[in-house]
């Protein structure tokens, strides 16, 4: 949508082809229906939230940055607001208002929108794109194409990887696609017993082969397969290709082991004949407290006065360093974002143009760039889309002038 809008505003005659019955089907489900449309941070901070190929995005963010995106939405009748972590949402908390605003912009700009229209393949003449062939066999001739077909996640929204195939068929190399911002499957079964329990203000550290990949404070969730929630999703984008890793949870990041030891001594002295598992409820949510002695390999049925010093040390250590083993991620269709895609080396980042096919541009999740949660991924799609559209219009203008 951004590519079509910017191309049209730059003077091109634009047709937007969408296979679905409506525009922006994925937008509707973003931010739990509220659409975290961007992140109000500066470029340096933005790029710190892009684990792969951040430098590819400099020109795109210069073309349209978070301020620019908010201004565009305002111009199109959708006011936005900033929340915790500089996340930006529409004031109405409705993702549909973002789509409606963009649609309004497209119509005002005179973009022809064809819904229920799936592109089957690109039509080429030597090294230039000359049109697209549709699923029904018709060919639409054109001077330039922007491929903005998304990745492979949530395929029910239309992103089934067609654009990746177009890229491959026209000789572009791809980085294998894998799920990112996705739940993590654990070897241990105990997280399943805590399904639905969310832990706030913990520190999650992820490692692979002893190397720290990620360490952050925040929130996570136990699920029927292992763990999810913000910290787990973010770790997923740092895991190696096999999706495996080790995790250590610090359940009390605000206290040192010494402080925790003193706290336990005090609590145990005051608790006297109460059971250990009961007293742990003062430190942990009830369901976790109930299984925690078992995780420390300590008998939860013993009274606090019976807990020997070495078991107290085990409890303190486990509170600070509870291990989990990640055996893999959930599948890509459950992932918020696709990692991998069209190799950035095949695209000129100054204009988003293919380096090997004239008139061909790429934008959004189809490219091998992905970011953390927080509005960064949509802003990447918007910025690369805007730059691709503007550049494609410039290319057509130059060609006409020749």
Ligand X SMILES: Cc1cc2nc3c(=O)[nH]c(=O)nc-3n(C[C@H](O)[C@H](O)[C@H](O)COP(=O)(O)OP(=O)(O)OC[C@H]3O[C@@H](n4cnc5c(N)ncnc54)[C@H](O)[C@@H]3O)c2cc1C
Q: Which residues bind ligand X (CB under 6 A)?
A: 17-20, 25-26, 29-31, 35-36, 118-119, 148-150, 153-154, 157-159, 162, 336-337, 364-365, 375-378, 381
Q: Which helix or strand (DSSP H or E) is residue 154 part of? A: none
**Which tokens is 348 given?**
């000129």
162 versus 288: smaller Cβ distance to ligand X: 162
Residue 374 C-beta: closest distance to ligand X, Å: 7
318 versus 391: smaller Cβ distance to ligand X: 391
Residue 52 C-beta: closest distance to ligand X, Å: 14
User: Which residues make Cβ contacts (< 8 Å) with residue 188, sequence separation at least 6?
Assistant: 226, 324, 325
Residue 290 C-beta: closest distance to ligand X, Å: 32
20 versus 303: smaller Cβ distance to ligand X: 20
How far from chain centre, in Å, is Cα 86?
A: 16
Residue 105 C-beta: closest distance to ligand X, Å: 15
Q: 53: closest CA among 340, 296, 299, 265? A: 340
| Token pair 């992820």: residue | 206
Angle formed at CA 318 by CA 317 and CA 322, multiple of 5 degrees: 130
186 versus 377: smaller Cβ distance to ligand X: 377
Residue 155 C-beta: closest distance to ligand X, Å: 9
C-alpha to C-alpha distances, 39 to 35, 302, 382, nearest whole angstrom: 11, 50, 12
**Which tokens is 369 given?**
């760039």
Cα Rg of the chain (Å, integer) = 25
Residue 201 C-beta: closest distance to ligand X, Å: 23
35 versus 298: smaller Cβ distance to ligand X: 35
Residue 158 C-beta: closest distance to ligand X, Å: 2
Distance CA 265, CA 271 (A): 10
119 versus 247: smaller Cβ distance to ligand X: 119
324 versus 346: smaller Cβ distance to ligand X: 346
Question: 30 and 109 in contact (C-beta within 8 Å)?
Answer: no
318 versus 354: smaller Cβ distance to ligand X: 354
Residue 148 C-beta: closest distance to ligand X, Å: 5
157 versus 261: smaller Cβ distance to ligand X: 157
Beta bridge partners of 147: 362
Residue 296 C-beta: closest distance to ligand X, Å: 36
25 versus 312: smaller Cβ distance to ligand X: 25
**Which tokens is 111 given?**
């973009």
**Which tokens is 331 given?**
């599948």
82, HSE (Cβ side, Cα atoms, 13 Å): 8
Angle formed at CA 16 by CA 13 and CA 21, multiple of 5 degrees: 150
Question: 37 and 360 in contact (C-beta within 8 Å)?
Answer: no
| E-only strand ranges, 223-336 | 226-228, 245-250, 322-329
Residue 27 C-beta: closest distance to ligand X, Å: 6
Contacts 24+ apart (CB under 8 A), 201-204: 201/253, 201/254, 202/231, 202/249, 202/250, 202/251, 202/253, 203/249, 203/250, 203/253, 204/231, 204/232, 204/235, 204/247, 204/248, 204/249, 204/250
**Which tokens is 367 given?**
């490219």
């Amino acid at each position: 949508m951004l590519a079509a809008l910017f191309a049209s505003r730059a003077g091109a005659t634009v047709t937007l082809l969408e296979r679905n019955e409506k525009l922006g089907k994925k937008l509707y489900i973003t931010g739990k229906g509220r659409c975290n449309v961007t992140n109000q941070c500066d470029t340096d901070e933005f790029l710190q939230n892009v684990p792969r190929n951040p430098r590819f995005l400099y020109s795109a963010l210069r073309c349209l940055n978070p301020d620019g995106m908010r201004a565009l939405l305002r111009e199109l009748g959708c006011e936005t607001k900033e929340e915790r972590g500089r996340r930006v949402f529409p004031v109405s908390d409705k993702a549909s208002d973002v789509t409606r605003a963009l649609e309004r912009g497209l119509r005002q700009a005179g973009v022809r929108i064809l819904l229920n229209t799936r592109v089957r393949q690109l039509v080429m003449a030597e090294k230039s794109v000359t049109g697209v062939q549709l699923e029904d066999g018709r060919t639409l001739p054109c001077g330039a194409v922007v491929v903005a077909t998304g990745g492979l996640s949530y395929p029910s929204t239309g992103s089934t990887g067609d654009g990746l195939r177009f890229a491959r068929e026209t000789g572009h190399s791809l980085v294998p696609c894998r799920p990112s911002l996705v739940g993590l499957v654990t070897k241990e079964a105990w997280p399943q017993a805590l399904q639905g329990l969310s832990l706030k203000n913990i520190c999650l550290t992820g490692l692979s082969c002893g190397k720290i990949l990620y360490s952050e404070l925040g929130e996570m969730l136990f699920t029927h397969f292992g763990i999810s929630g913000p910290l787990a999703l973010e770790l997923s984008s740092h895991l190696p290709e096999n999706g495996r890793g080790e995790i250590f949870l610090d359940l009390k990041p605000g206290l040192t082991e010494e402080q925790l030891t003193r706290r336990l001594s005090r609590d145990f002295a005051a608790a006297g004949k109460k059971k250990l598992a009961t007293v742990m409820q003062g430190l942990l949510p009830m369901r976790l407290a109930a299984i925690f002695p078992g995780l420390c390999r300590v008998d939860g049925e013993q009274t606090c006065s019976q807990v020997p010093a070495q078991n107290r040390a085990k409890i303190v250590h486990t509170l600070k360093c509870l291990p989990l083993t990640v055996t893999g991620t959930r599948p890509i269709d459950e992932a918020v974002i696709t990692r991998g895609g069209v190799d950035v080396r095949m695209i000129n980042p100054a204009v988003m143009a293919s380096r090997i096919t004239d008139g061909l541009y790429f934008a959004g999740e189809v490219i091998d760039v992905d970011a953390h949660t927080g509005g960064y991924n949509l802003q990447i799609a918007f910025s690369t889309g805007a730059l691709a559209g503007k550049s494609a219009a410039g290319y057509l203008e130059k060609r006409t002038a020749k």
